[in-house]
Chains A and B, each alone.
Chain A
Amino acid sequence: MAVQLDEAAGRTVPRTGKGGAPPARSGAGGRRAAPYLLLLPALLATAVFLGWPLVRNLVLSFQNLNMKELIQHLTDWRGLGNYQEVLGSEQFWRVTVRTVVFTAVNVVLIMVLGTLLGLLLARLGKKMRLTLSVALVLAWAMPSIAATTVFQWLFDSRYGVVNWVLDHLGWHSMARYDWVGTQLSTFFVITVLIVWQSLPFVALNLYAATTTIPKELYEAARMDGAGTWKIFTSVTFPFLRPFFMATTFLEVIWVFKAFPQIFAINQGGPDRLTETLPIYAFTEGVGNLHFGMGAAISVLTIVVLLALTAYYLRLTLKQEEDAL
């Protein structure tokens, strides 16, 4: 959750602010070291606490490392064996496809509903906007482990309030429905939870971004007789394109990596049918004590994530270059 907001903030602020490109620094030899010195602690920390685990992960993925090897401190190289086994297993491909579909469904829901919610905020009066904003902030601020626990209670088969409401709306077969009994219904609960927690970020930031759009643009569009949809596609969307790009990218990462929500709802069950790649790597590596195999899955997971986000990363870097 946190990651999203900050990243988008980093993106929005310079655009709305005055941050012009700094002029090229002239001369002053000693000063040249300044940026490197300022960045040194951050780079060092990144190298040690991120770089090292990444390298270690890669090394582990070539080893045969199970409980026995772990306890006896044995190093048993396996070459590409782990990868061959993972890539050759049907399970891995099933989980990968599932993860991509799960990510796509959630991100589309979050972006579409979040946009609608943001546009709604823009149309409200002050009091109602404040009311809705406070409700959104509450959902946003809920720590995910706590939120997951609450959702288990809401969807409890016997005393859960969701089943009670469905029953009283006339859907009587739902009175004792076991939500974590099937793959689809478990995913449904997880999706509701994730969308509930993610919408506030998109909605509040979208609303804020719309306030930066010059009013004249809307007036001109209205003079031309544009309707609500036309105004959105011809004014709002083009103006906020960078916002939509950045937010979609962040949501992809966030949903793809979702761990506590899926793990705490039902440990990837029933029958491992709601395991996504991060849960799969965890279950294989830590749960079943196949550390080498888990590491190989985790490397492949990182590759999939990079593939999903490569386009955006390239785009941002190019913009960054142009801005300088």
Chain B
Amino acid sequence: MKRSLAGRIWPNATAAVLALVFAFPVYWMFATAFKPTQDILSEDPVWFPFHGTFSHFVTAVAAPNFWRLAGNSVLVTVVAVGLSLVIGLCGSFAIARMRFKGRKGILLTFMVAQMAPWEVMVISIYMIVRDADLLNSLLPLTFFYMLMVLPFTLLTLRGYVAAVPKELEESAMVDGCSRRQAFVKVVLPLLAPGLMATSLFGFITAWNEFPLVLVLNKEPGAGTLPLWLSQFQTQFGNDWGATMAAASLFALPILVLFLFLQRKAVGGLTSGAVKG
């Protein structure tokens, strides 16, 4: 079937408008962060930071504890995601490749765990951490974030493991590999996109987490960046330049990671959606 000229123009025009709508808030965050204050507080919006300035970023970085909390965020996120990848990979292999008693129940456990409403469990978590005398420590945060990430890491990797043909592993074993060697040499490389995808989304979850750190790590310098951003906004609420600079600093690592990995990770999942 041939498409008429109008039939080709409409989808493209709609797509162009939608692309603008979706990208605009992200653009506006960065643009505002670079604009001098008189351009931000103008009656008509200044669409591009022609008189760009770094002063808002200086304000943001100079705000109390920025570097400390950024370090905390990186540490907690990396350790939590790393742990959940190792633990999740072991579990996913068992679920995808082995048949055993209680498999259904265990699967259900992880599926329910994945829906765990952490947002409403902050009270009991606060009590537990307080009783253990670990308030304002990074240790409980790391472990709770690890578990927030673990169920979906495990369930997703299960899909990737199942998609690797069993014959590959078997033929490696016929060639004299042990089961573990076959896994490390044959299966693991094929799982690389899956590992990247899951770790990417793990990073986002842990980097983003807000309610728990809000309750557990109140002491100055004890929290992570989401807490810093929310406090920064309370403090600098009317200074939109500085607030947008702070939001940019917080969002940038994830945006870069996502754009950098999307071809491997998301591209793998959505088979070509972002490959164009």
Contact = CB atoms under 8 A, between A and B. Distances in A.
Contacts, number: 351
Interface string B69-81: 0000000000000
Interface of A: 1-3, 5-7, 9-14, 16-20, 22, 24-25, 32, 34-36, 38-39, 41-43, 45-46, 49-50, 52-54, 56-57, 60, 117, 120-121, 123-147, 149-154, 156, 159, 161, 164, 196, 199-200, 204-205, 207-208, 211-212, 222, 253, 257, 259-260, 263-264, 277-278, 281-282, 285-286, 291, 294-295, 297-298, 301-302, 305, 309, 313, 316-317, 320-321, 324
A92 to B, nearest CB: 13
Given A16-B271, A38-B94, A2 B123 contact: no
8 contacts: A2-B152, A19-B162, A38-B90, A42-B110, A53-B128, A134-B259, A139-B22, A286-B126
Given A19-B96, A42-B110, A6 B22 contact: no
Most chain A CB within a 10 A radius of its CB, from B15, B21, B126, B270: B270
B276 A42 contact: no
Q: Main secondary structure on chain A at its contact with chain B?
A: helix
B104 A13 contact: no
B240 A126 contact: no
Given A45-B146, A204-B270, A277-B120, A146 B159 contact: no
Given A57-B124, A139-B26, A13 B159 contact: yes
Nearest to A152: B233
A193 to B, nearest CB: 9
Contact of A161 (B28, B154, B258): B28
B189 to A, nearest CB: 16
A10 B155 contact: yes
Contacts of B18: 117, 120, 132, 135
Nearest to A127: B276
Interface of B: 1, 11-12, 14-16, 18-23, 25-26, 28-29, 32, 40-42, 44-45, 87-88, 90-91, 93-100, 103-104, 106-117, 119-128, 143-144, 146-147, 149-160, 162-166, 194, 197-198, 201-202, 204-205, 207-208, 210-211, 215, 226, 229-230, 233, 240, 243-244, 246-248, 250-251, 254-255, 257-259, 262, 266, 269-274, 276
A307 B224 CA distance: 34
A124 B13 CA distance: 10
B159 A204 contact: no
Given A14-B159, A19-B163, A286 B122 contact: yes
Contacts of B28: 150, 153-154, 161
A49 B144 contact: yes
Contact of A22 (B11, B97, B197, B276): B97
B233 A149 contact: yes
Nearest to A147: B25
Nearest to A324: B99
B19 A131 contact: yes
A260 B211 CA distance: 7
Contact of A46 (B23, B113, B115, B243): B113
A153 B107 CA distance: 43
A282 B167 CA distance: 51
B247 A137 contact: no
Contacts of A3: 114, 152, 201, 205
Given A5-B201, A142-B251, A149-B243, A18 B121 contact: no
Given A2-B152, A141-B259, A126 B276 contact: yes
Closest 9 CB pairs of A and B: A17-B163, A19-B162, A130-B276, A208-B270, A2-B201, A13-B159, A141-B258, A6-B152, A57-B124
Given A138-B255, A139-B25, A208-B273, A298 B106 contact: no
Nearest to A57: B124
Given A39-B106, A60-B127, A141-B204, A205 B120 contact: no
Contacts of B163: 13-14, 16-19
A302 B254 CA distance: 30
A321 B11 contact: no
Given A3-B152, A161-B45, A41 B87 contact: yes
Nearest to A156: B240
B122 A211 contact: no
Contact of A309 (B44, B96, B115, B164): B115
Contact of A52 (B128, B151, B208): B128
Nearest to A295: B123
